[in-house]
A and B are shown apart, each in its own frame.
Chain A
Amino acid sequence: MTTSESLVRPHGPAYRIQGAGRRFGDASSPTSFEALRDAAFDIPSGSLTTIAGPSGSGKSTLLSLLGLIDRPTSGEIVVDGVPTATASDKFRTQLRATKMSFVFQSFHLMSSRSVLENVMLGGLYSGLSRAARMERAADRLARVGLESKARKTVATLSGGEKQRAAIARALVADPQILLCDEPTGNLDSKNSGAIVELLVELQSGGLTLVMVTHDPSIARVGSVQLRVKDGEVRRDA
């Protein structure tokens, strides 16, 4: 199967992980550490995948490989039929800009700037014009229920509202894949529930959603449930 064939195939998996591993430090050094070992699984397009596991097990390491913000030290990560492990930084950056987006535990919003400006940033590096970013940002803010806060500075928002703004930002460039690392990690249980509900709702529109969580009850919402333990990935359901 050649790459170009896989590109035109309409309903392949969003991800095909082939023996991927991530080792920190030189393998010959005694201090080197293998955070992820020989992971192999598929993530179907349009699925909701959760990654659970104890602290330090390698969940974030896995997510950063999926998000192309880190490279595996072994194996291959095929995104939508395209192998990426040894692709150029420029190409990987371009894939990030066009195909995928992120929601992080720490919201990474620019606190002294307006909610709208923050959300618009989500489309800047994807090549959207200012007008398109403005229009889409307003639309995504409405989708996450923050339309009334568009002109407010981020600093005035509550934790839950901040994560909603971050989600709106992640949606501006119309990604196919949304990767969330502990999106509720900084929120209380009430806000957590609401954010998970929002993500699930958005995902039902066809998004491939991958969410890292250490909360078993959240992990259970996944149609694919992965469990990481000591760098080993296992499929639960």
Chain B
Amino acid sequence: MRERAKGISIDKLGLVDEAVASLAAKRLRSVLTAAGTVLGVGVLITVVGLTSTARAQIDQRFNALSATEVTVSQVADPVTVRSLAFPPAFEQRVQQIDGVEQAGLVWQLPQETSAVSPTQVLGVSGQRDSGVGVMAVSAGALNVARARVREGKLFDPIVDRAEARVALIGSLVADRYGIHHLESSPAITVNGTSFTVIGVMDSVERHSELLNNVLVPAFTARRLWGDPRGSTSPQGWVSVERGAGQVVADQLAHAIDPAAPQRFDVTPPPDPRVLGNAVNADITRLFMLLAAVCLVVGMVGIANTTLVTVLERTGEIGLRRALGARPAHIAFQVLTEATITGLVGGAIGSLLGISVILAASLSADWTAVVPPEAILGGPVLGACAAVLAGVYPSIRAARVQPLEALRVGT
């Protein structure tokens, strides 16, 4: 037998051309076939993208604010109703801990002791005002809050320790009292004592309640009105470096008062990942399931349409076989047709998904985060699904006998 085992090597690109041309010949059908894959991949990319966008957003917020702040409060002590557990050296002690950036003490003064009225301000002079509260803050607390003044200056440790009769107000309070300039040394009366306003704050990055209060130095408040009482429990605010939250929290109570650490209740920053994941996990799973269903529907669509085109083209396939096509050539062409459908569907789905992510991010004023593997993975996923879907139709196509070309058809 002079049978040569090696077959003819044929132009593989020519087979791909045939696949493309066959799809192009039935353009509308090809587009509709790809629709399922478009939907499946589109939903998948959207879910992945939105999830990572939202997670990045949560990370950003928590990193910037909560994740870098530890708060410590005083455990209520039934015996000594009126006492301050925080030592005067609170700030210095806390700052010994590695990872601590700033620390400060804050407490709200009870309403009855803090009748505020602006003095030397025309119009409202002498009137009591219950809408504005008074807070005692140490210089460090203002740093923790990252307060900025529109005019004047913040307290500094010297002012604080000097028990000066000075006050800071937020820009809202300033507007309310008509305090526009500090040159005339405007003053505010708190419970009969006059305080000179040395600064007007226009923003804080944490603890926005500072802007609604008249702030007086902690040492001054203590001298005038004694230790904070009962409901107005003092708080220590500690800002820490990124990632140092838990470590600092663990050491804090002991650092404040080694003799009685049990008197302090430390709140470490929330773990953003745990929080973000908890919020998203269920919904993500649901959408992933939806995407998977869409993808399976897409696969069934491709499998079905490809099978139909194979059955429709029995005569054509028979002719190709008569012209010398091997079963592998036929299978390759059919599989290529399915794969191209999936690839294009996946690519369009990816683009749609990315558009949705961008639009959603834009409208929520977020930074869109699209994982790069999602952009590449979309078309690849579509193609893989299509290859699976194309297996059976291509086997069927490869089985068509050349004799089919003899049948009378088109």
Interface digits, B4-34 against A, CB 8 Å rule (1 contact, 0 not)?
Answer: 1001111101110110011001100000000
Name the contact of B323 in the complex, choosing from A4, A82, A102 (C-beta under 8 A).
Answer: A102
CB–CB B406/A64 < 8 A? yes
Q: Which residue of A lies closest to B8 (CB)?
A: A127
Known contacts A94-B4, A101-B323, A102-B323; A127 and B405 CB within 8 A of each other = no
Chain B residues with CB under 8 A of A122: 323
Which of A60, A93, A101, A126 is packed against the most chain B CB atoms within 10 Å?
A: A93
Q: Which residue of A lies closest to B320 (CB)?
A: A125
Known contacts A69-B322, A129-B11; A60 and B406 CB within 8 A of each other = yes
A2-25 CB contacts (< 8 Å) to partner B: 3-4, 7
* Of B139-147, B274-282, B289-297, B324-332, the one with at least 4 CB within 8 A of chain A: B324-332
Name the contact of A93 in the complex, choosing from B13, B22, B319, B326 (C-beta under 8 A).
Answer: B326
Interface digits, B322-355 against A, CB 8 Å rule (1 contact, 0 not)?
Answer: 1111100100000000000000000000000000
Size range of the interface on A?
35 or more
The CA-CA distance from A173 to B11 in the complex, in Å, is: 14
Known contacts A93-B324, A101-B323, A121-B320; A4 and B9 CB within 8 A of each other = no
Whether a CB of chain A sits under 8 angstroms from the CB of B364 is no
CB–CB A128/B11 < 8 A? yes
* Of A35-43, A50-58, A108-116, A221-229, the one with at least 4 CB within 8 A of chain B: A108-116
CB–CB B325/A93 < 8 A? yes
CB–CB A113/B25 < 8 A? yes
Whether a CB of chain A sits under 8 angstroms from the CB of B247 is no
Q: How far is the CB of B156 from chain A (nearest CB, A)?
A: 82
Interface digits, B374-410 against A, CB 8 Å rule (1 contact, 0 not)?
Answer: 0000000000000000000000000001110111111
The CA-CA distance from A93 to B321 in the complex, in Å, is: 8
Q: Which residue of B lies closest to A126 (CB)?
A: B324
CB–CB A130/B405 < 8 A? no
Chain A residues with CB under 8 A of B409: 106, 108
The CA-CA distance from A110 to B17 in the complex, in Å, is: 14
Q: How far is the CB of B171 from chain A (nearest CB, A)?
A: 73
Known contacts A64-B406, A124-B11; A3 and B1 CB within 8 A of each other = yes
Chain B residues with CB under 8 A of A60: 406
Q: How far is the CB of B350 from chain A (nearest CB, A)?
A: 30
The CA-CA distance from A128 to B410 in the complex, in Å, is: 26
Q: Which residue of B lies closest to A6 (CB)?
A: B2
Whether a CB of chain B sits under 8 angstroms from the CB of A76 is no
Q: Which residue of B lies closest to A95 (CB)?
A: B324
Interface digits, A165-201 against B, CB 8 Å rule (1 contact, 0 not)?
Answer: 0000000010000000100000000000000000000
A82-141 CB contacts (< 8 Å) to partner B: 82, 87-88, 90-91, 93-94, 96-98, 101-102, 104-108, 110-113, 117, 121-122, 124-130, 133
Chain A residues with CB under 8 A of B321: 69, 93
Known contacts A127-B8, A181-B406; A98 and B25 CB within 8 A of each other = no
Name the contact of A4 in the complex, choosing from B2, B402, B410 (C-beta under 8 A).
Answer: B2
Name the contact of A96 in the complex, choosing from B11, B14, B315, B322 (C-beta under 8 A).
Answer: B322
Q: How far is the CB of A85 from chain B (nearest CB, A)?
A: 12
CB–CB B319/A108 < 8 A? yes
Chain B residues with CB under 8 A of A67: 322, 402
Q: Which residue of B lies closest to A170 (CB)?
A: B323
Chain A residues with CB under 8 A of B319: 102, 104, 108
CB–CB B403/A127 < 8 A? no
CB–CB A97/B405 < 8 A? no
Q: How far is the CB of A118 from chain B (nearest CB, A)?
A: 10
Whether a CB of chain B sits under 8 angstroms from the CB of A70 is yes
Q: How far is the CB of B294 from chain A (nearest CB, A)?
A: 30
Q: Which residue of A lies closest to B325 (CB)?
A: A125
Q: Which residue of A lies closest to B13 (CB)?
A: A130
The CA-CA distance from A7 to B1 in the complex, in Å, is: 11
CB–CB B403/A70 < 8 A? yes
The CA-CA distance from A124 to B315 in the complex, in Å, is: 17
The CA-CA distance from A20 to B349 in the complex, in Å, is: 58
Known contacts A69-B401, A127-B9; A96 and B324 CB within 8 A of each other = yes
Q: Which residue of B lies closest to A120 (CB)?
A: B14
Chain A residues with CB under 8 A of B18: 121, 124
Q: How far is the CB of A7 from chain B (nearest CB, A)?
A: 6
The CA-CA distance from A112 to B315 in the complex, in Å, is: 15
Name the contact of A113 in the complex, choosing from B11, B21, B401 (C-beta under 8 A).
Answer: B21
The CA-CA distance from A10 to B315 in the complex, in Å, is: 36
Whether a CB of chain A sits under 8 angstroms from the CB of B316 is yes
Interface digits, A205-223 against B, CB 8 Å rule (1 contact, 0 not)?
Answer: 0000000000000000000
CB–CB B329/A125 < 8 A? yes
CB–CB A94/B323 < 8 A? no
Q: Which residue of B lies closest to A71 (CB)?
A: B403
Whether a CB of chain A sits under 8 angstroms from the CB of B365 is no
Interface digits, B278-322 against A, CB 8 Å rule (1 contact, 0 not)?
Answer: 000000000000000000000000000000000000011011111
Given contacts A110-B21, A124-B18, A125-B329, 14 further A-B contacts (CB under 8 A): A64-B406, A88-B3, A98-B8, A104-B406, A106-B407, A107-B410, A108-B319, A113-B21, A121-B18, A124-B10, A125-B325, A125-B326, A127-B10, A181-B406
Q: Can you list 17 A-B contacts (CB < 8 A)?
A: A64-B406, A67-B322, A69-B401, A90-B7, A93-B321, A93-B325, A94-B324, A96-B402, A101-B323, A104-B319, A106-B407, A106-B409, A108-B315, A110-B25, A121-B18, A122-B323, A181-B406
A-B pairs with the 5 shortest C-beta distances? A97-B324, A125-B324, A69-B402, A127-B8, A108-B319
